[in-house]
Structure 1
Amino acid sequence: MEVKCLVIYCKFAFLFPHGVIVKLQAMFLSPDNSKIVELVNALVEKKIGIVAHFYMDPEVQGILTAAKRQWPHIHISDSLVMADSAVQMAEAGCEYIAVLGVDFMSENVRAILDQAGFNKVGVYRMSSEQIGCSLADAASSSAYTHFLKTASRSPPSLHVIYINTSLETKAHTHELVPTITCTSSNVVATILQAFAQIPDLNVWYGPDSYMGANIADLFQRMAIMSDEEIAEIHPDHNRKTISSLLPRLHYYQNGNCIVHDMFGHEVVEKIKAEYCDAFLTAHFEVPGEMFSLSMEAKTRGMGVVGSTQNILDFIKNHLKQALDRNVDNHLQFVLGTESGMITSIVAAVRELFDAYESRQEGSNIEVEIVFPVSSDAVSKTSVNGSHRFGSSVADELDKLTIVPGVNSGEGCSIHGGCASCPYMKMNSLAALLNVCQQLPDEDNRLSVYKANRFNAKTALGKLVAEVGCEPILHMRHFQATKKLPDKLVRQVMHGNRGEPS
């Protein structure tokens, strides 16, 4: 097995793209100006905001990044921030929101806008077909319902559900077991706070089995830490409390992200053999071997495990430190998440290099992103030279190096090989332009593109949209106060059916 690499060498470099995904990365570096103009004109004229996920197609991200310089109501982030950004766009006067993601993301945006009083703002998805998600599907299965029925018979119980699930699932599970949503960046803090706040609590996490196993692994590691080390992670815990919560933490064992599932044994062995000195980054959804490897690196200050935003921030912070030191340096990062993240990393690295350009005096700082893939896509990387800050190289060479090649000549594709989500790639530039151009939808031609607004009712006769939003609002309260809301605590202690208002 070999690895596919995106290499960013200092500020000035030539471009050698090979393969499907890599060619789209090249498009990001010099997006089609006519497409930018076409998109911006439609956005400005019709007051359209755009929220997109980090895992978006590189070509689309490139256009959006360039368009944002002319129209500020464009935001690329992880799934949690997408809905918040949509609300801010509505507050700023946007009349429509285009969502580039999977369907549960557009559902969440629709519901949160309604909760914020912007029910007249239109929300549109980017495909006439269903844009699915393996995790969302796992949480809507009968097996997951059985998992929660078991939880309901073990009071007091709290269901911690990953944000990457449908609104309908959140509603139905909340009526079975009191539920709070979480993200990969706040799941550990949420669970630790829940155990600290509610005596004898049982926590049921799902649907991502790898993340559940990784959380359990992390808590087992904490159980042998000193009380002082544990207190730095959560002030209300110590070795005794961590040990006591271990048997009361349960996680669903039959759900995973089809993309992060690729970061298994084969990838880990290659990283150990050839990239043992690199910084390691891993999403919380990766298999246990990759998680353990990155956690070990983290203890040495050489790794990060968390969300897509955590990974991006980690890379940016280490590059900023190198730029502050202003000495020759080669930074090598292994990227343990979906390939779409490369585009945001390229943008962030270029922005930092541009910001520091006038302050550099001859230092040669190199950034290399190693992107591991399965053996279906193999590549070698070679770089012909690099340039220092202060170089007289013309501005037209101001490009980043992307130089993976593969034995087959095709490279990484959405049909297999590299860690690329086929669902996310259903959000095409053509679909975005089509939706924007047809708004306002006076003839209802875009009905299949509208985000779902759930008017259906739950088993207890409440609106799905209303009940489904409650676990999200519980999480927002936790993020703001670092405590579970009193209402959720009452729900856990008394059960949703008899919870006092």
Structure 2
Amino acid sequence: MTTANPQPLRHFHVPETAWVERQMPRFTGAEREAVLQRIKALLQERDAVLVAHYYVHEDLQRLAEETGGCVSDSLEMARFGRDHPASTLVVAGVRFMGETAKILSPEKRVLMPTLEAECSLDLGCPADAFAAFCDAHPERTVVVYSNTSAEVKARADYVVTSSIAQRLVAHLAGRGEKILWAPDRHLGHYIRETTGADMVLWDTTCVVHDEFRARALEDLRREHPEAAVLVHPESPARVIAQADAVGSTSQLIQAARELPHETLIVATDSGIFYKMHQEVPHKTLLAAPTGGRSATCHSCAHCPWMAMNGLGNLLHVLEHGGNEVHVEESVRQGALRSTQRMLDFAQGRQTPVLGHGDA
């Protein structure tokens, strides 16, 4: 069963990835090398560490690696930042990732190259509308994806990442709990189908993964019958149905290493290719087909908001400050509680049985 949202979602503008990339400063030759060296020096001077998501430009991923930072998924970015001795975390990603870092590390300064880097799942699940949705289903355990605002996390019973969502929901369902899921309906549908859980779903999708096309993928598979298909579960069901491996960003990289296939068709943000090429340099990586480079294609397999992170605005925030992430303390405490429940579950500690109204 899928439940419609209780009120129309706010409309938001999705910038075209190509347009965003044209606005970013371009550095070449000696100028680019000077920028890189200046950023490295400033990270040391500011007692800062750079944590970057798999989907940002490879320049930032490489820079994080070279300076002792982290390239990973959103939760591992936050955990790395929490455990790192640096007093300042610089988060290259989208806004909810900076918030997650602040939720786990309130004593640290959290900066981002830009605070304009949003996420369609976050924007598509505003806290006030989500609260009304929860109020309409008070008997359900509220499980939200990490791609949400701190306010939404604070309203939830559990936060999950794509790597642990199935296992946690299956555990809750095994205890007889009914689930309210938000925000990605494709991921929610996949979890419901694979766990058998009783779930109502919020109705929002990722602008990147929603663009993958099942029929075009079938055509590409016919052209490359030797290829394995790797799919992120935020993708439509007919795309997931063709997968040899379904999983989070980290799980897809692991599958690329472990599968024997020499050709891989990858249905997630193309930013992941940098890390995949490192792990399997001998394999051929093909991007799964999207809606095409037309007026209807928001992302063309690359998040336009991730594309807002670049060397230029990273240098600017390190030189001049600003773009600091703040989370109001009462909200942070609520979001930490729901996030900590997931962390406890991942570490093998029993999840609590929640009563009505528990958060």
Structure 1 length-normalised TM? 0.62
Partner residue, 2:306:
424
Partner residue, 2:357:
495
Partner residue, 2:273:
342
Partner residue, 2:287:
371
Partner residue, 1:239:
none
Partner residue, 2:162:
184
Amino acid in structure 1 at the alignment position of 2:158: I
Distance 2:250 2:71 in 1: 11
Partner residue, 1:78:
73
Partner residue, 2:150:
167
Displacement of 1:33 in angstroms is 3.8
Q: How does 1:18-417 map to 2 (within 5 A)?
A: 32-65=32-65, 68=66, 71-72=67-68, 74-89=69-84, 92=85, 94-114=86-106, 119=107, 121-127=108-114, 129-140=115-126, 143-152=129-138, 154=139, 157-171=140-154, 173-174=155-156, 179-196=157-174, 198=175, 200-219=176-195, 246=196, 249-294=198-243, 303-318=244-259, 331-350=262-281, 366-374=282-290, 376-377=292-293, 416=298
Query: Are the counterparts in 1 of residues 130 and 152 from structure 2 also a CA contact under 8 Å?
Result: no
SS in 2 for 1:289: helix
Query: Are the counterparts in 2 of residues 52 and 75 from structure 1 also a CA contact under 8 Å?
Result: yes
Alpha-carbon displacement from aligned partner over 1:177-212 (angstroms, at most 9, x marks no partner): xx101111111100111122x3x3211221110011
Distance 2:337 2:193 in 1: 29
Query: Are the counterparts in 2 of residues 35 and 63 from structure 1 also a CA contact under 8 Å?
Result: no
- Computed over aligned residues only, the root mean square deviation of the Cα atoms, in angstroms, reads 2.8
Amino acid in structure 1 at the alignment position of 2:80: S
Identity %: 23
Displacement of 1:338 in angstroms is 0.3
Q: Structure 1's 416 and 466: CA in aligned 2 closer, same or farther, altered over 3 A? A: closer
Displacement of 1:38 in angstroms is 2.0
Looking at CA atoms only, which structure, 1 or 2, has the larger radius of gyration? 1
SS in 1 for 2:203: coil
SS in 2 for 1:496: coil
Displacement of 1:252 in angstroms is 1.7
Displacement of 1:130 in angstroms is 2.6
Distance 1:32 1:192 in 2: 49
SS in 1 for 2:51: strand
Q: Structure 1's 452 and 266: CA in aligned 2 closer, same or farther, altered over 3 A? A: farther
The structure, 1 or 2, with the larger RCO (C-alpha pairs under 8 Å, 6+ apart) is 1
Distance 1:54 1:293 in 2: 23
State yes or no: 1:474 paired with 2:341.
Answer: yes
Displacement of 1:141 in angstroms is 5.7
The number of equivalent residue pairs is 335
Distance 1:136 1:63 in 2: 27
Alpha-carbon displacement from aligned partner over 1:99-137 (angstroms, at most 9, x marks no partner): 1111111111112102xxxx1x2111111x532111112
Structure 2 length-normalised TM? 0.85
Unaligned segments of structure 1, at least 5 residues? 1-19, 220-245, 295-302, 323-329, 351-365, 379-412, 456-462
Query: Are the counterparts in 2 of residues 281 and 311 from structure 1 also a CA contact under 8 Å?
Result: yes
